[in-house]
Chain A
Amino acid sequence: MTDTAPAIELKGISKAFGPVQANKDISIRVMPGTIHGIIGENGAGKSTLMSILYGFYKADKGDVFIAGKKTAIPDSQAAIAAGIGMVFQHFKLVENFTVLENVVLGAEEGMRLSTSLGKARKELTRLAADYELNVDPDARIESIGVGMQQRVEILKALYRKADILILDEPTGVLTPAEADHLFRILEGLKAQGKTIILITHKLREIMEVTDTVSVMRRGEMTATVKTSETSPQELAELMVGRKVLLRVDKVPAQPGKTILDVRNLEVTDDKGVKRLKGVSLNVRAGEILGIAGVAGNGQSELLDVLGGIQTATGEIEVNGQPLDLTGKLSDARSRRERGIAHVPEDRQRSGLIMDFKAWENVAFGYHHDDRFNTGALMDQGAIKEDAAGKFDRFDVRPNNPALEAKSFSGGNQQKIVLAREIERNPDLLLVGQPTRGVDIGAIEFIHQRIVELRDAGKAILLVSVELEEILSLSDRIAVIFDGQIMGERLPHETDEKELGLMMAGMTGASQAPAEEIA
C-alpha cells in the first residue's frame, strides 16, 4: 500500500429505487488517517451511499476501491472483511447481554463461547488503553447509558479489525459533553491511522472534527472541500442550494396571562420507574417555553401527559381550568377539545398514519369535527378541500394530497402535521422535535410558523434535543434532567455550555455531578 492510495474511494456510484435516483454518479476519495464528513439534508442520499458501502444495497453503477484495490461489497460480511465498520444511528445491541457478549456476537470463533469471550476480554482491555474507550466488559447494555452504548458499537467495529469507521448521526442521542468525548475518541482513532467517515446534518460537528467535508444534495455530490477553508454558511447553502437563514427572526415576546400551569407532575411507567419526579412549570400566552434535555429524561412523558396519551398525578391547569389526568377525560380527544394541539415527537409513528393518504391525515385527530362529517360518513370532499388549502399555505411538496404520507420527505411530513395542528388555532401548542429529520430549507419555514403562532398570542411548549433550536426559538428555557426541572434560564443570558451542564444534572460548575457522565 502506497501512502498516496486513498483508504476508500468511490467512483461513479449510482443507485435508483424505482423512479427515484437516490445516488447519482457519486465519487469521493477519503485519505487514510483523516476524518471525512458527509453532510446533506434528509433524503439527500447519505444513508443510501453508506448502505452501499456497507453492503446493504447493491449499486446500479460504479466501483468501490479500498486501499487502492477495487472491492466488491455484496453484503455486510464482505464490508467487515474489507475493514469497514459501521456505527448506526440506532444501536444494534442486545439489551440483556453484557458488553463483552455484544462485542463477540456474530464474531464467535470455535465451538466454545468461552474461548471467544476470553480473547475479546483481552482485546477490549487493549483497545480501551489505546483509544480512551473505557467500558466495563461485564456490564449489561440495559444498565449503561447511551454514550457507553455507542462506545460498545465502536468497540464492536474495532474488534472486527475495522480500519474505516462510518458513524451515522452519532451525536443525536448524546449530551454536548458526551459528544465532545466522542470527538476526542475519534481524534484518537485518527491519530492511530484509522479513517473515519462522519455522517451528520449538524454543521457545528462538521466544523469541529472533520478534515474534509462532502456535501450531498438530491442524490448528488455538490462539493467536497477542506473544512478549514469553508464556513457553516457556505455549507448550508451548498446543502440547500440557496441562501438560508440560520438564525430565527423574531421580535421579543409579549407574554400575556398564564395558559398552562403544571404543578408537581409525576409519571410512573409500567415498570414502576418514575419518569417525572414533580415537574412544575408554566407557559403564558404569546411565549415559547423551550424544554432542553437529553432524550429520555422525561420530556416525552411531559408531552404525552399534556397530549392525553399518558396518565399522571399532580395538577395541570389550562386557561385556569384543571385537566383530567387519569379519568375518562384524560384522552387525546378531550385534550383537543380543551384547545391543546400536539405536534408529536415521533411524527411517523404518532403524528401520521404513514399508509394513509395525506388528505386522510389532515383530519387525523380531528375526525370528529362536524366540518369533516355528514352523519356517520366522513365527508371526503370537505377533507380533501381542507387538505388542498393546507398544502398550499404550508408549501407542502409535492403538492398532491392524494399521495400516501410515507411518500413525502421528513420535512414535508412535518409540514402536514404542523398545518393540521397550527391551523386549529389552539390556545396551547405542544411541539416535540419540530425539525428532527427535517431539511434545512424546511426548518426555516417551520420555525417561522411557530413564531407566528406565538405572535398571535398563543402559548407554545417546545421540546427539542437540539440545543441550538431551543436557544434560538425559546423565550424561556427550562432544563429537564432525570424527570426534574433543573432550572430556568433566559436564552440571551445563557449559552450551550451552561445548558449542557444542566442537562447532565449539574446545576452549577462548582457542584458535583449528579451522575457520572463521561
Chain B
Amino acid sequence: MQAMPKWADIVLIPLINLLLAFLISGLVILAIGEDPVEAVSLMIDGALGSSYGWGFTLYYATNFIFTGLAVAVAFHAALFNIGGEGQAALGGLGVALVCLMLPWPHWTIALVAASFGAALFGALWAIVPAYLQAKRGSHIVITTIMFNFIAASLLNYVLVNLLRPAGQMDPASAKFPEPTHLPTISDILNGIGIPFAERTPANVTLIIALLACVAVYFLIWRTRFGYQLRAFGKSEQAAQYAGISSVKIIMITMAISGGLAGLMAINNVMGEAERLVLNSVEGAGFIGIAVALMGRSHPFGVLLASILFGFLYQGGAELALWTSIPRDLVIVIQALVILFTGALDGMVRAPVERMFLSFKKREG
C-alpha cells in the first residue's frame, strides 16, 4: 500500500516543509520591520554568491555532516543521541592533545593521528551513557544531555588549569605547531588551478566528511553489524529473538555515533582555530539533530541538510553584518525548519498523500 511515490516522500515533503518554514521566517522578518526579500537575497548572495561565501558555508556544513551522521547512526538503532555537543567537545580535547603532545613531521600524519584521537575521545564520552542505558536502563536522552554539561565543565577545567600556556589570560590551549595546520579548500583548489577565495575556513576535513558519509552508508546498509543495528532499531523484541545482543548493539552504536561527533573537531579545532578554545562546538552538536531529522537519517540526506544549515549559518552572519536583523534570527529560522521538518511533518504529509491518492484514482 504505497500512498505516494518515493521521490515525493524524500524530496517533495521536505521541500514543502522548508518552504513553509521560510514563509513564516519571512513573516517574522516583516514583523521586525525589515524586508524579507532583501534579507533572502542578502543571505543567498552572502553564503552562495561567491567562493568566499561558499568557503564559510562548506566549513559549517562539514561540522554538521559529522554531528548529523552521529545522530543518524544512533537513530537507526532507535537511540536518540543528543550528546553530540559534548562528544564533539571531547573530540576537540583529543585533537588538542594529539597536536600538542607529539612533534608531527607532516600534516597528513598529524591528520590521521588527530582523527583517531578525536574519534576515540568522542566515542569514550558516548560509551558511558551507552553503558548506563544498556546495563542500567538509564535513558540515553537524559544521560547524553547531562554529559554535555559535564563535558563543558571538564573542558573548562582542562583549559584553565592544564592546557593554558603560562601567562595567557584566555582559557585556550597554545597554538598548534605549524606542521599540524591543515590545507584549506582554497589551498587545494588554487593548487590545481581553480580560483577560490583565500582566508576561508573550509579545509581538507570536508573530504573526510564526504568519506564519512559513504562509510556510514556502507555501515548501515551493507555490513552485518548495520543489519543487526537496524533490526534492533526496528524491534528490540525481534532482535532478541534473532540472538542479537542489545548490550553489544547499544555500546558499539553509541561508540560509532560519539566517534563521528568527535571527528567534527578536526574541522573546527585543527582545521580552523588551530588551538582549542572554550565552547568550540558552538551548538553544532544540536544542529546535528535537526540535520539528521531533515536528512531522514540517510547519509545523502544528511549531506544536503548540512549544506542547507551551513547556508543558514553563513547567510545569517551576513544578515547581521549588513542589516539590523540580529544574528539570532537565524536561530529562529533554524527552529522553524526543525519544527516543520520534524514535529509538524504529519501536517504536510497527510494532505500530500491525499493529493496523490486522488490523482491516482483519476488515472485509474
Q: A431 → chain B, closest Cβ, in Å? A: 14
Binary A-proximity of B226-246 (CB < 8 A = 1, otherwise 0): 011011001101101111110
B237-278 contacts to A, CB under 8 A, are: 237-238, 240-245
Name the residue in A354, A378, A407 with the highest tally of chain B Cβ atoms < 10 Å from its Cβ. Answer: A378
Interface flag for B194 (CB, 8 Å)? no
Chain B interface residue bracket vs A:
20 to 34
Question: Chain B residues near A257 (CB, 8 Å)?
Answer: none
Q: B247 → chain A, closest Cβ, in Å? A: 11
Interface flag for B224 (CB, 8 Å)? yes
B222 touches A378 (CB 8 A): yes
Interface flag for B153 (CB, 8 Å)? no
Q: Known contacts A350-B237, A356-B234; is A331 also within 8 Å of B225 by CB? A: no
Q: A423 → chain B, closest Cβ, in Å? A: 16
B234 touches A354 (CB 8 A): yes
Interface flag for A19 (CB, 8 Å)? yes
B223 touches A376 (CB 8 A): yes
Interface flag for A20 (CB, 8 Å)? yes
Question: Chain B residues near A336 (CB, 8 Å)?
Answer: 243
How many of chain A's residues have a CB under 8 angstroms from any CB in B?
A: 36
| Nearest 9 pairs of A and B residues by beta carbon | A333-B243, A332-B243, A365-B242, A350-B241, A18-B1, A353-B234, A349-B237, A376-B223, A350-B238
Contact sample, A vs B, 18 pairs, CB 8 Å cutoff: A18-B3, A19-B1, A307-B241, A308-B243, A309-B241, A331-B243, A333-B242, A333-B244, A350-B235, A351-B238, A354-B234, A355-B234, A365-B241, A368-B224, A373-B224, A376-B223, A377-B218, A378-B224
Interface flag for A436 (CB, 8 Å)? no
Binary B-proximity of A361-389 (CB < 8 A = 1, otherwise 0): 00111011000010011101000000000
A349 touches B235 (CB 8 A): yes
A18 touches B241 (CB 8 A): no
Question: Chain A residues near B234 (CB, 8 Å)?
Answer: 353-356
Residue of B with least CB distance to A332? B243
Interface flag for A344 (CB, 8 Å)? yes
Name the residue in B224, B238, B364 with the highest tally of chain A Cβ atoms < 10 Å from its Cβ. Answer: B238
Q: Known contacts A356-B231, A377-B224; is A349 also within 8 Å of B238 by CB? A: yes
B1-40 contacts to A, CB under 8 A, are: 1-3
Question: Chain B residues near A308 (CB, 8 Å)?
Answer: 243
Interface flag for B207 (CB, 8 Å)? no
Given contacts A308-B243, A332-B240, 6 further A-B contacts (CB under 8 A): A18-B357, A19-B1, A352-B238, A353-B230, A355-B234, A377-B224
Q: B232 → chain A, closest Cβ, in Å? A: 9
Q: Known contacts A19-B1, A378-B222, A378-B227; is A332 also within 8 Å of B360 by CB? A: no
Q: A433 → chain B, closest Cβ, in Å? A: 14
B243 touches A377 (CB 8 A): no
B242 touches A17 (CB 8 A): no
Interface flag for A36 (CB, 8 Å)? no
- The distance in angstroms between the C-alpha atoms of A70 and B139, with both chains bound, is 53
Q: A246 → chain B, closest Cβ, in Å? A: 31
Question: Chain B residues near A407 (CB, 8 Å)?
Answer: 1
Question: Which residue of the partner chain, among A307, A346, A349, A367, contacts B228 with CB atoms under 8 Å?
Answer: A367
Question: Which residue of the partner chain, among A335, A364, A377, contacts B231 with CB atoms under 8 Å?
Answer: A364
B223 touches A19 (CB 8 A): no
Question: Chain A residues near B244 (CB, 8 Å)?
Answer: 333
Q: B23 → chain A, closest Cβ, in Å? A: 30
Residue of A with least CB distance to B361? A16
Question: Chain B residues near A307 (CB, 8 Å)?
Answer: 241
Q: B134 → chain A, closest Cβ, in Å? A: 15
Binary A-proximity of B206-219 (CB < 8 A = 1, otherwise 0): 00000000000010
